[in-house]
Structure 1
Amino acid sequence: MAELRSVFSHIDFSGRNRIVVAVSGGGDSLALLFLLKQFLDDRGGLPRPTAVTVDHGLRPEAAAEAQAVAGLCRRLGVLHRTMRWQGTKPSTGLAAAAREARQALLAEAASDLGTDIVLTGHTADDQAETLAMRLARGGGLGEAGIAPATLRENVTWFVRPLLRVRRQVLRDFLRGLGVSWFDDPSNVDPLSERVRVRQSLADLEIIRLTEKASAAAREREMLGERAARLMSEHGRLPAPGLIEIDAQALHAADADVAGYTLRILLAVAGGTAHLPPADRTASLLASLREEGTRSSLSRAVAARVGGSLYFHRERRGLPNLALGSPDRPASQCRLWDGRYRICWREPVEGLCIGPDGGAGPGLGAEEARRAPRWLALAARAAQPAVWRGDRYLGPAGEWGIELEPVAGPWAHLVPCFDLAPARAVLHLLEGANIPCPPWAGHKAA
């Protein structure tokens, strides 16, 4: 059990009075709870852990399991809280919806407790299964697997300290303590892809896949750092919604770096949750060597003008977002078009956020000087504005509405191995800073 003694050594708990540990009652999460309690007790008991169990309301026995976890936590001297997924459950995409609901509830519990860390019990087996499924779909950047830590909504770190520990080791640890656990029936359901993959993986294959994921994560991190440098040194925001990068610098970069940088800029300009395909991006990059080239990909328009490449959101498919109604309170935040987090505080019944569409005023002198006029106007047409019916009222930022730029693929979640490019592109967009991960020395193990 020597490998279990160091699972928290790379996490910086200092300055935190509380941390959340997700405990379903399964073997992995219970082992995480007991290991964490031992670790913290050896160091004076701080920060204090709170175990949170999420009842998805999908199995009748889930409520009793949550109560059993609560009872175990009382005996262990750990605070416990049950969070329930309320409302109607979707008929399709249930697993993804449950995962998002679980993360949201755990983040809510962390916020209530004034902490930014949630620990989860993902194991080396989970990592191997995830990578096997991604390889079956083509791999790519996904070969990095599950990140050791992921930042949610720029606030909450989901940290996975057991990613290098085998599931069997954790169960042996619990047996040594005389602790039993619940087995979720879905974990043996052959209709689940993950279950079928789990049953097919031998021990040596699990070791090989976890090592492959670690190597791919290092490569992804290094690639991201080089792309971040390219964007930081040669990118700028000459007008709202318009990204510019030096064409010569992009074309002179290593092909992998140039391609990854271009994929990021297209996804961010278009507000898409996923990077565009690498092969289509490579073709677009080759075409952008010619002056006057203009093309679109991932809802973004890319144009070569002079020595620069410009990117802006294309005009099709832009959303409208109602800002209030008699039965819905104001003071809320929503993601708009995958490019902005929009927050409003005052009652705004009858108003909505929609695209400028060219209804706004002409360019200011500074905007006209910094970018080609037609590109600045095209970018502005896709910027958020306030409307009452078909009446244009002005740019959203002039109505006391907070606009926070977000980086499309990382609008909700930022894996720790993508911190460098996410930070660079948010700096380019004049967005919020990303907090440092909770690593000792701010470096992932």
Structure 2
Amino acid sequence: MQQAGSLPAAALFSRIDFGQGAVAAISGGSDSTALLILLKNHFDRFLPSARLIAVTVDHALRSGSAAEARTVAGLCRELGIIHRTVAWEGAKPSTGIAAAAREARYRLLADVARDEGLGIVVTGHTADDQAETVVMRQARDEGPGLAGMAPATLYEGDVWILRPLLAERRSALRALLTANGHEWIDDPTNLDPAFERPRVRATLAGNENRFEDILATASKVAHEREDLSHRAAVLIGRHASRLAPGLIHLDPAFAAEADRLAVLHVLRVMLAVVGGTSFLPDNDRAAALFAMLSAGTGRATLSRTVIDVRRAGIFLHREARGLPAPSMLSGGAVWDGRYRITFDDGVAGCVIVPSGRTKARESTAPGGDEAPASLFRAAHAVEPAVWQGGTCLGSPGEPWQLPGVAFVPVVAPFARFLSGFDLEVARAVSELVGASSLPMPPLKAPAGSKATANA
């Protein structure tokens, strides 16, 4: 296909290492249709052995959605592209439907990628989508969120969601399609004022100056967020240690660091990770807490995490309230937002429960004077333990009597969606707690840049 001069596929995709191939999300709208055609051209020219698989998610929210999916399937047959339609099944929520649909869409796309042995999903988000996203986040006063969507996001630790068209305007993509005789489907919900995004889209229409200002804001905040992530990662490497499963130590020099923004960011990340919460604690509450703790002694709780400040430093462990009720082992399940459970056969009748104070008192604190024994016991008491009948088979940090059982630490705030803006701090804290290693993003750094490509 002849390319429009302003949208050469080689330039759009030159920074992406597609490896064995990619899943391309296509709804049939102009953006995703143009993306698919550009990808097809690129793969044919430069990656003839890689696989390109188009996937349409039928959310089943409109009567015509199934027919639209069939139309997309027909286009893919004409282009010689493998196509899959996957449906969002089950009951739909009565509120927050847009967010729920987005969650379902990414889950279904990632499932296809995994089934096909691919680690990349490519979406058609444009500069228009980026501007709309930033405006919506401005309305909710989401400071770091003003960076908008990242060029790549890691989904559930193993699938990269790439957005190579974030610098391109929708009008240019439509011009490309029209010039090459391709049509697209207009989703009526994109014009429905009952939804937030169409309302924002209407306010931006024709206001190019505001549009450019919004994108400039997004770029500025993105650079600031990446820089903060880097500085926070440095502080974690310099001051943080894991004394035992569930017990994190920040040495006394941490509180004296001059970079207060990075110090506070580290504290917020650590509170969420230790407490197993999906969101970082409120910035103002964390700042007030840090101001109180900067005195050198004290004890407080935030985000399900106990912060115990002593002369030896700051100690963090999960609080004893709100722990999960006893439950059967379930492979792949996440326990308390802190551990992913894996196991082999032979776990019939096994139950997972918090270790509790009695089991903690029986444990032996590591030697040395790194922390009082009471802190090790407090951290151990909230760790998971596996029981079979009346026998405790073990808990994290102990030898297991049941081979094949493992509790892999989870970095809760980054476990589902990890924006590349936060990649460095996420990698640092993952290494600290012993979580699964994070894959490198499939984006090459721009020519002349020493930095890792954001993801």
- Normalised by the length of structure 1, the TM-score is 0.93
TM-aligned CA deviation for residue 297 of structure 1: 0.8
Q: 5 Å matches for 1:274-285? A: 274-285=279-290
Change in Cα spacing, 1:203 to 1:354, as seen in structure 2 (3 Å) is farther
Q: 8 Å contact 1:323–1:353 — kept in the other structure? A: yes
Instruction: Report the counterpart of residue 46 of structure 2 in structure 1.
Output: 43
- In 2: Cα distance, 1:106 partner to 1:244 partner: 39
Change in Cα spacing, 1:290 to 1:394, as seen in structure 2 (3 Å) is farther
- In 2: Cα distance, 1:410 partner to 1:37 partner: 32
Of residues 436, 439, 444 in structure 1, which corresponds to 2:443? 439
Instruction: Report the counterpart of residue 61 of structure 1 in structure 2.
Output: 64
- In 2: Cα distance, 1:60 partner to 1:114 partner: 33
Amino acid across the alignment from 2:453 = K
Amino acid across the alignment from 1:386 = V
Amino acid across the alignment from 2:306 = V
Q: 8 Å contact 2:268–2:280 — kept in the other structure? A: yes
- In 2: Cα distance, 1:437 partner to 1:70 partner: 30
- In 1: Cα distance, 2:95 partner to 2:348 partner: 33
TM-aligned CA deviation for residue 116 of structure 1: 0.5
- Other structure's SS at 1:7 match: helix
Change in Cα spacing, 1:367 to 1:355, as seen in structure 2 (3 Å) is farther
Instruction: Report the counterpart of residue 373 of structure 1 in structure 2.
Output: 373
> Taking every aligned residue pair, what percent have the same amino acid on both sides?
47
Q: 5 Å matches for 1:195-344? A: 195-201=198-204, 202-320=207-325, 322-323=327-328, 332-344=331-343
Amino acid across the alignment from 1:346 = D
Q: 8 Å contact 2:12–2:165 — kept in the other structure? A: yes
Change in Cα spacing, 1:209 to 1:351, as seen in structure 2 (3 Å) is same
Q: Verify: 1:427 aligned to 2:425, yes or no.
A: no
- Other structure's SS at 2:308 match: strand
- In 2: Cα distance, 1:352 partner to 1:225 partner: 40
- Other structure's SS at 1:333 match: coil
Residues 320-344 of structure 1 deviation map (CA, whole Å, 9 limit, x = unaligned): 36336xxxxx6x3111111111123
Unpaired stretches in structure 1, ≥5 consecutive residues: 325-329
Q: 8 Å contact 1:123–1:166 — kept in the other structure? A: yes
Amino acid across the alignment from 1:175 = T
Instruction: Report the counterpart of residue 153 of structure 2 in structure 1.
Output: 150
Amino acid across the alignment from 1:384 = P
Q: 8 Å contact 1:248–1:307 — kept in the other structure? A: no
Amino acid across the alignment from 1:374 = S
- In 2: Cα distance, 1:334 partner to 1:407 partner: 14
Q: 8 Å contact 1:239–1:367 — kept in the other structure? A: no
Instruction: Report the counterpart of residue 448 of structure 2 in structure 1.
Output: none
- Other structure's SS at 2:177 match: helix
Change in Cα spacing, 1:171 to 1:321, as seen in structure 2 (3 Å) is farther
Unpaired stretches in structure 2, ≥5 consecutive residues: 446-451
Q: Verify: 1:76 aligned to 2:79, yes or no.
A: yes
Instruction: Report the counterpart of residue 449 of structure 2 in structure 1.
Output: none
Amino acid across the alignment from 1:416 = G
Change in Cα spacing, 1:367 to 1:180, as seen in structure 2 (3 Å) is farther
Q: 8 Å contact 1:322–1:350 — kept in the other structure? A: no
Residues 4-62 of structure 1 deviation map (CA, whole Å, 9 limit, x = unaligned): 2222121122xx22211001111110010011111222225242211011112222211
TM-aligned CA deviation for residue 396 of structure 1: 3.9
- In 1: Cα distance, 2:199 partner to 2:209 partner: 17
Count the aligned residue pairs.
436
- In 1: Cα distance, 2:388 partner to 2:157 partner: 32
Moved more, 363-372 or 39-48: 363-372
Moved more, 132-141 or 28-37: 132-141
TM-aligned CA deviation for residue 316 of structure 1: 1.1
- In 2: Cα distance, 1:419 partner to 1:299 partner: 24
- In 2: Cα distance, 1:89 partner to 1:320 partner: 28
Instruction: Report the counterpart of residue 28 of structure 1 in structure 2.
Output: 31
Q: 5 Å matches for 1:378-389? A: 378-387=378-387
TM-aligned CA deviation for residue 97 of structure 1: 2.1
Change in Cα spacing, 1:109 to 1:196, as seen in structure 2 (3 Å) is same
Amino acid across the alignment from 1:372 = P
Change in Cα spacing, 1:350 to 1:66, as seen in structure 2 (3 Å) is same
Q: 8 Å contact 1:3–1:165 — kept in the other structure? A: no
Amino acid across the alignment from 2:240 = G
Amino acid across the alignment from 2:381 = A
Amino acid across the alignment from 2:285 = R
Q: 8 Å contact 1:359–1:392 — kept in the other structure? A: no
Change in Cα spacing, 1:63 to 1:396, as seen in structure 2 (3 Å) is farther
TM-aligned CA deviation for residue 185 of structure 1: 1.7
Change in Cα spacing, 1:89 to 1:396, as seen in structure 2 (3 Å) is farther
- In 1: Cα distance, 2:326 partner to 2:33 partner: 42
Moved more, 396-405 or 375-384: 396-405
Instruction: Report the counterpart of residue 404 of structure 1 in structure 2.
Output: 408
- Other structure's SS at 1:154 match: coil
- Other structure's SS at 1:12 match: coil
Residues 146-173 of structure 1 deviation map (CA, whole Å, 9 limit, x = unaligned): 1110111111000000111111111111
